[in-house]
A and B are shown apart, each in its own frame.
Chain A
Amino acid sequence: MKHEPFFWISVSCGIVIMAFILLPLIQMMSAPSVGMLKETIQDKDVVRSIWLSIYTAGLAALISFVLGTPLAYLLARSAFRGKRLVESIIDLPIAIPHPVVGIAILSVAGKNYWIGQILSELGIRIMGSVTGIVTVLTFVGLPFYLNATKTGFEGISPRLEKVSRSLGASLFSTFFRITFPLAWRSMLIGLIMCCARAISEFGAVVIVAYHPMIAPVMIYERFEAYGLKYSQPVAVWLVSISLILFFLLRILTLHKVKE
């Protein structure tokens, strides 16, 4: 069959986009020598910062899961005045420039604001602390979890829940026996997206907590101080470990479905 010109235009655009995304990444990943990579991963500071990146992102996803799931369910199931407004507010963190997020969080956590005062009385510090990093990552990651999970809930017919209720299941049992088993895949995708977004955050974190250093901050610091060559190996390790974790998670969960 002879293809229309439009087909060839689409294919060409596709190739350009693939190259645009992949070439810089491949170049970066293959730039450092094996020896250098080895040396880098033996550096305790590097390991600590990568680990900090991963577990703060994980915590942000966990908080999003706990706080976001009920809200996602509410938004998927009910129509109420101001629902659009709530949905727009949820999307706000996606649109705000990252350093602004950091500044905004510091302004409520500062001692001049009542939340900051309560926090300081409780002995909780946001500025320059792991708590601060997790707060920022949750702020930027939450919309991704909420939206993915909401879409998942919307894909489940409310009639399944209605039938479950009529058969004697409470709202709670219905959620755990019907809604959750049908929505967990969307929730997992939401968690992965939330995590991925959190791991990649730099601009907001650098304002709230330069130290302790998460991996993107360390990559930036090394780039500033020593140049491209010293920042690349850390970047390679961060990207590799994150990708491996996400792939493992997906493989594990997809495997379960087949059973």
Chain B
Amino acid sequence: MITIRGLNIDLREFQLRNINLEIAENEFFILMGPTGAGKTVLLEAIAGLIPLMSGKILIGEREITGLPPEKRGISIVYQDYALFPHLTVLQNITYGLHFHRIDKTHAEKRLDRLLEVLNLFGLKQRFPVNLSGGEKQRVALARALMVEPKVLLLDEPLSALDPNFREEVRGALKRLHQSSTTTFLMVTHDFVEVLSLAGRAAVMNKGRIEQTGHVKEIFEKPASPFVADFVGMKNLFKASFNETYAMVSGVRIEIGRTVDPSSQYLAVRPEDIIISRNKFSSSMRNNYSGIITQINNQGFYYEIAVQIKDVSFKGLITKGALIELVLEEGIPVYVSFKASAVHVF
């Protein structure tokens, strides 16, 4: 288990403020946040590569705050692979063995298994300069895991790869996590990676952690306007709250529960919004009629903006639905969503 308590860091260009985090053993934990949020700094601080101003880092019961990086048992994998260019693939992978007392037959078994899982057998004698991006990142993973670290830190390991390599390395990551006892802590921007790999996650912004929790919880119940915006909450409004409903610029929205009176914002995920030509008869508490003001092609989906009084709601529909419903700008439609789809913070 990794425990971080009251961590503060002051670099010239980055500051981390009061970071508190608990990550369970063998968990796959993801750190999200915009560029410049301090995610890499936090990883390097955990690895002991950046000095702390204050705070504590523990692995299990052992405090590692004052230990040099080589004594922590924490491996790190970077976005740009950071392979040693003067060493072969095999020498790269076995580099850490020089400094660890690992039984030789055990090490050989481990090496074979990593070469197999990461499909690196044919590349052992090559130099990094002769590898593709996906191959380099697989070597970096093997090198990091060869020393059996307690924690593996991954700094956007997939973001420099082509989409097809990305899927391949992502699959390898998942297999490696499932078959080891190592705790994985990964930084990423990509929600597909978050949803397919992580159990829990944290969202960082400007050197602080905005929210920590299960991935589902973060996506469905963002704890702040920033998190809502970051994870893609398009319908984010300032609201006033009265018992079980809220008012947004004259539109009454049912919440179906009493909320914290200090709340100021409300949000609905676009995919929770149903758009129809005829009034939708269901148990949904929120039903409105409005006019389509905009239709945006977003690749797999279309984003439909519907004006209801002074409020513009955005919903997502597929291309099929768009054609079937004969939707176009300027026509009247109905918008519905459940009270439970309304997030308040």
Contact call A165/B68, Cβ cutoff below 8 A = yes
Contact call B86/A162, Cβ cutoff below 8 A = no
Q: Which one of B70-78, B204-212, B272-280 contacts A? A: B70-78
Total A residues in contact with B, Cβ cutoff 8 Å: 19
B49 within 8 A of A: yes
Residues of chain A within 8 A (CB-CB) of B47 are 162, 166
B232 within 8 A of A: no
Contact call B147/A163, Cβ cutoff below 8 A = no
A235 within 8 A of B: no
Residues of chain A within 8 A (CB-CB) of B76 are 162-163, 166
B95 within 8 A of A: yes
- Given that A159-B78, A159-B80 are known contacts, is A166 also in contact with B49, CB under 8 Å in the complex? yes
A106 within 8 A of B: no
Residues of chain A within 8 A (CB-CB) of B100 are 168
Residues of chain B within 8 A (CB-CB) of A164 are 84, 95
Contact size range, B: 20 to 34
Give the A-B contact count at a CB cut-off of 8 A: 70
Q: Which of A167, A168, A173 is packed against the most chain B CB atoms within 10 Å?
A: A167
Contact call A166/B78, Cβ cutoff below 8 A = no
Residues of chain A within 8 A (CB-CB) of B48 are 165-166
A5 within 8 A of B: no
Report the minimal beta-carbon distance from A19 to chain B, rounded to whole angstroms.
40
B12 within 8 A of A: yes
Partner of A166, one of B75, B80, B85, B98: B75
Report the minimal beta-carbon distance from B257 to chain A, rounded to whole angstroms.
47
Partner of B84, one of A165, A166, A178: A178
Q: In chain B, what residue has the closest Cβ to A174? A: B70
Q: In chain A, what residue has the closest Cβ to B75? A: A166
Contact call A181/B147, Cβ cutoff below 8 A = no
B39 within 8 A of A: no
A241 to B60 Cα, complex, angstroms: 65
Contact call A181/B86, Cβ cutoff below 8 A = yes
Contact call A166/B86, Cβ cutoff below 8 A = no
B99 within 8 A of A: yes
- Given that A181-B86, A182-B86 are known contacts, is A169 also in contact with B78, CB under 8 Å in the complex? no
Contact call A167/B85, Cβ cutoff below 8 A = no
Residues of chain B within 8 A (CB-CB) of A159 are 78, 80, 82
Contact call A166/B82, Cβ cutoff below 8 A = no
Contact call B80/A165, Cβ cutoff below 8 A = no
What are 21 inter-chain pairs, A to B, with CB distance below 8 A?
A159-B82, A160-B82, A162-B47, A163-B76, A163-B78, A163-B84, A165-B68, A165-B70, A166-B47, A166-B70, A166-B76, A167-B95, A167-B144, A167-B147, A169-B70, A169-B95, A169-B96, A170-B70, A171-B68, A181-B86, A182-B86
19 new A-B contacts at CB < 8 Å, known A157-B80, A166-B74: A79-B12, A159-B78, A159-B80, A160-B84, A162-B49, A163-B76, A163-B78, A163-B143, A163-B144, A164-B84, A164-B95, A166-B47, A166-B69, A166-B76, A166-B153, A167-B96, A167-B147, A168-B147, A170-B70
The 5 closest A-B pairs by CB, nearest first: A168-B99, A167-B96, A165-B69, A159-B82, A166-B76
Point out residues on B near A: beta carbons under 8 Å.
Answer: 12, 44, 47-49, 68-70, 72, 74-76, 78, 80, 82, 84-86, 95-96, 98-100, 143-144, 147, 149, 153
